[in-house]
A and B are shown apart, each in its own frame.
Chain A
Amino acid sequence: MKARVYVMLKNGVLDPQGEAVRHALGSLGFDGVEGVRQGKVIELDLADGTTEDTVTEMCEKLLANTVIESYRVELM
């Protein structure tokens, strides 16, 4: 089985990389891009039977820094 973990900076935490992407899109002529947030996607190959709780624990312990990041787990 696989799981996909989405890690994003929390709302309210300035995302300088997202801001730089927003400016770059603007300078390419894409008007109306009001905000860009950049995160990461982590794909996990897991032994069958691994629970969502276990993946959540992985997020809490390592995959996300919950001081500044939020995460979402998707089992596939």
Chain B
Amino acid sequence: MKAAVIVFPGSNCDRDLAVAFEQAGMDVAMVWHKETELPQDLDIVGVPGGFSFGDYLRCGAIAANSPICKSLIQHTERGGFALGVCNGFQILTETGILPGALRRNAGLKYICRTVGLRVENAETAFTSQYEAGQVIDVPIAHHDGNYFVTDEKLAQLRDEGRIAFTYTDNPNGSVADIAGVISKNRRVLGMMPHPERAADDGHGGTDGVAMFRSLVDQLATA
């Protein structure tokens, strides 16, 4: 099973994400943003957290226009899997792969702490080892995690079961407490919380491990 993690200037969770994929049993290639093609035969692409391009202009805006992102868009259009965490989620919305946008936190502060997440949809390749309604503890670390979608789009996301996770106690003002959304085909997940930072006993929590195990299980049978 093969994963790639894209590395932008300013990414800082790229290695954590790679380790989480590896511990779940995947081979991981790190791919620099200036590459124009992702490796062949990938099972999943990870878009990591961090501060790509210093968050200049808007978080993720410049990264979304990096050479590698054309290949990422093609990968998702072909039905490939992708996971974007934190800045990776911002990049996925900026590319248009996922709907909505991430605004400055409602309280204007950078927030770095562990929060409760409710699993809203346990019938995805990312969440199959959780129970629907289960509450898990996963860290957040962001300044711009305040998810926005129009009312119309929100209704669509709800109808299509595309809200993957919600906050149990909304830390940032996100519409409908949304912490993570999935694509219509259920193969691209973007989320502000960091499952790769809850993937080892040394992290102080391991509630993120089930996501990576779910992926390996589901991709093995796909």
A17 with B108: in contact, given A67-B100, A68-B101, A68-B103 (CB under 8 Å)? yes
A16 with B173: in contact, given A65-B101, A68-B103 (CB under 8 Å)? yes
Q: Which residues of B contact A20 (CB under 8 A)?
A: 108
Instruction: Count residues of chain A with CB under 8 A from any CB of chain B.
Output: 12
B57 touches A16 (CB 8 A): no
A67 with B108: in contact, given A13-B103, A62-B65 (CB under 8 Å)? no
Interface size class of B (residues with CB under 8 A): 20 to 34
Complexed CA–CA distance, A61 and B57 (Å): 12
A68's contact among B65, B106, B148, B173, by CB below 8 Å, is which? B148
- Report if B105 contacts A (CB, 8 A): yes
B105's contact among A16, A61, A65, A67, by CB below 8 Å, is which? A16
B103 touches A16 (CB 8 A): yes
16 residue pairs of the A-B complex, CB under 8 angstroms, read A9-B103, A13-B148, A14-B106, A16-B104, A16-B105, A16-B108, A16-B146, A16-B173, A17-B104, A20-B108, A61-B65, A62-B61, A65-B58, A67-B93, A67-B148, A67-B149
